[in-house]
Amino acid sequence: MIRAAYLADPGLEAPLEEELTRRGVAIARWHGPLALTEAPPVPAAWALDIWDAPVELPAPSVKAAADALRGIQRNWSQVPVLHHRRSALIEARLPPVKARPLRFPEPAPTGHLGGWTLLDTDLLLASPTKSSPFPRGAVRFEEDREGPPSRAYLKLWEGLTRFGQWPGPGEVALDLGASPGGWSWALAQLGCAVVAVDKAPLDPRVSALPNVTLRQESAFGLPPEKVDWLFSDVICYPARLLGLVQRWQGFARRMLCTVKFQGATDHETAEQFAALPGARLFHGAHNKHELTFLWEAP
């Protein structure tokens, strides 16, 4: 019996499987991007979404499949893997899910959303509850294609949306490894004072913003100081970033950092990030081979 399903980001199935194996969870089989297990659900940083209450439902017809889902609850999102035409016909019989792009800093939706997929032409796997409020675990935003110097700001937006809070006027945000300034640009739009730290210059459009100050120093050589928020998208080995985070605990009230992996995934260090009191660790839809670390002082 399938007791949990973990949705992997395409191309990152291996880190998810490795993480689950380290947690003692054996994957019964892969169903497209879904890792199906007979073990109870556990936290998994590399899963875009976790289905924690899956059930198998007979689906002898399109109508019967849709009726079975509607009999449980109203809102569903599917992960199409097999029998795409039949899946589309079932989906058309369900109430539409209004998954419009968010206008940041709009909060994440709070409505109940389940997940389903066709295991075979006449068999559904459906979970009324799942970890993400977004279809397929992927938040989409109304993008700004003119202001920021790069698209890196999207993973910052995703992290802050998952955090459920963000810096505002009267607060100081330290952006380590800021160049060319995508994160500094996004933070400046929120009205906080941004201190960008990087030996390299910022994009002129970012450095011209009145609430952005550049300190051309090393992110790792900067002595800790009292700040409301610490941000880091620095390219470095996870263990080095962990040391930086630990030094800044007691100085920063909140942190949001990208944990980047080069080559093999360093699961041991990732587990040390997750074990810090007040920490959350997840792989977002806008991350590559990396995790987002959120921390708030207990």
Q: Are 182 and 159 in contact (CB under 8 A)?
A: no
Helices (H), 97-221: 153-163, 182-188, 204-207
Q: Check the CA dihedral 291-45-273-264 and report its sign.
A: negative
Catalytic, 260? Answer yes
Q: What Å distances lie between residue 230 and 8, 114, 170, 216, CA to CA?
A: 28, 34, 15, 17
Q: Are 159 and 232 in contact (CB under 8 A)?
A: no
Q: Are 48 and 9 in contact (CB under 8 A)?
A: yes
User: Which residue spans within 63-139 are E strands per DSSP?
Assistant: 76-78, 114-120, 123-127
Q: Which helix (H) or strand (E) holds 13?
A: helix 13-22
Q: Are 134 and 166 in contact (CB under 8 A)?
A: no
Query: Contacts by 13-22 with C-beta closer than 8 Å and gap 24+?
Result: 14/265, 15/46, 15/261, 15/265, 15/267, 15/283, 15/289, 16/44, 16/46, 16/47, 18/265, 18/267, 19/44, 19/45, 19/46, 19/267, 19/270, 20/44, 22/267, 22/271
Among the listed residues 130, 199, 226, 260, the single catalytic one is 260
User: Which residue spans within 169-235 are E strands per DSSP?
Assistant: 172-176, 193-197, 212-215, 227-232
> At a CB cut-off of 8 Å and minimum separation 6, what does 43 contact?
50, 274
Catalytic residues: 260
